[in-house]
Structure 1
Amino acid sequence: MRLDLALVIPVHDDLPGLTRLVGEARQSGLFRQIIVVDDASPLPVPAMEGVTLCRLPDNRGAGAARNAGLDLVDCTHVLFFDADDTLLPELSRLTEHLAETPNFDLCQFKYAQSSELRHGHWGQPDYDEAVWAEAGLSLARHKVLSPAQRHLIAQTANYPWNKICRTEFLRAEGIRFMEIPLHNDLAFHWRVLSRAKTVIASDRICTYHRVHTGRAHLTNRRGHERLCVFDALDTVRRELAPLDPDWHAAFAAFASALVTWARQGLDEASLDRFDRLSEQFFENMKETGSPPARSDKF
Structure 2
Amino acid sequence: MRYSLIIPHFDDVERLERLLSTVPVNRSDLEVIVIDDCSSDQYKLESIKLRWPMVNWLTTERNAGGGAARNIGLKEAKGDHLVFADSDDEFLPEAFTYFDTHVDDNDDLVYFLAEALQEADGSSSNRADSLNELCVSYTYRPSSQALKKVQFGHVVPWAKVYSRRFVESSGIKFEETSVSNDVAFNVLLAIQARNVRVVPVKVYRIHRRAKSLTADTSPEAFLERVSVKARLADSLKKLGVQELPSATGWMLASFAYGPRTVYRTWRMCLASELQIDLFRALDPFRWKRFMAKSRADRSEKSAAESSRGQR
SS at match of 2:100: helix
Partner of 1:53: 57
Structure 1: which amino acid aligns with 2:102? Answer: L
Alignment of 1:275 onto 2:262: yes
More off after superposition, 45-54 vs 183-192:
45-54
Aligned match of 2:107? 104
Alignment of 1:75 with 2:79, yes or no, is: yes
* Offset, 1:90: 4.5
Match of 1:7 in 2: 5
The one-letter code matched in structure 1 to 2:135 is: W
Query: Do 1:110 and 1:124's aligned partners in 2 also have CA atoms closer than 8 Å?
Result: no
For residues 146-161 of structure 1, what are the structure 2 equivalents within 5 Å?
147-161=144-158
CA contact under 8 A between 2:38 and 2:62: conserved in structure 1? yes
What's 2:228 paired with? 232
After TM superposition, give the deviation of residue 245 of structure 1 in Å: 5.3
Letter in 1 for 2:265: S
Amino acid at match of 1:200: R
User: Quick check: 1:151–1:246 contact (8 Å CA) kept in 2?
Assistant: no
Q: Distance in 1 between matches of 2:242 and 2:98?
A: 29
Instruction: Give 1 or 2 for the bigger CA radius of gyration.
Output: 2
Helix, strand or coil for the counterpart of 1:74?
A: coil
Are 1:208 and 2:205 matched, yes or no? yes
Q: Give the letter aligned to residue 71 of structure 2.
A: N
- Count of aligned pairs: 277
3-state SS, counterpart of residue 22 of structure 2: helix
Distance in 2, Cα, partners of 1:218 & 1:121: 14
Question: In structure 2, which of residues 19, 37, 44 is the aligned counterpart of residue 21 of structure 1?
Answer: 19
Structure 1 residue runs of 5 or longer lacking an equivalent are: none
More helix by share: 2
SS in 2 for 1:154: helix
CA deviation profile, 1:63-110 (whole Å, cap 9, x unmatched)? 0000011111001111110111110124234212234x2311111111
Q: Which residue does 1:222 correspond to in 2?
A: 217
CA distance in 2, matches of 1:272, 1:208: 40
The Cα of 1:202 is off from its aligned counterpart by: 1.1
Q: Which moved more, 1:126-135 or 1:76-85?
A: 126-135
Identity %: 22
Does the residue aligned with 1:190 lie in a helix, a strand or coil? Answer: helix
3-state SS of 1:210 partner: strand
1:188 aligned partner, one-letter code: F
CA distance in 2, matches of 1:93, 1:73: 20
Q: Deviations over 1:6-49 (max 9, x none)?
A: 11110000000111212221368486100000000001222231
In the alignment, is the contact (CA less than 8 A) between 1:4 and 1:32 conserved in 2? yes
Offset at residue 222 of structure 1 (A): 1.0
Please point out which of 21, 37, 40 is paired with 2:38.
40
Letter in structure 2 aligned against 1:153: V
- Residue in 2 that maps onto 1:186: 183
Q: Displacement of 1:131 after TM fit? A: 2.9
Aligned residue number for residue 199 of structure 1: 196
Give the structure-1-normalised TM-score: 0.80
Q: Distance in 1 between matches of 2:162 and 2:67?
A: 16
In 2: Cα distance, 1:162 partner to 1:200 partner:
12
Query: 1:39, 1:271 → 2: CA distance?
Result: 34
CA distance in 2, matches of 1:219, 1:247: 31
Change (3 A) 1:243 1:41: same
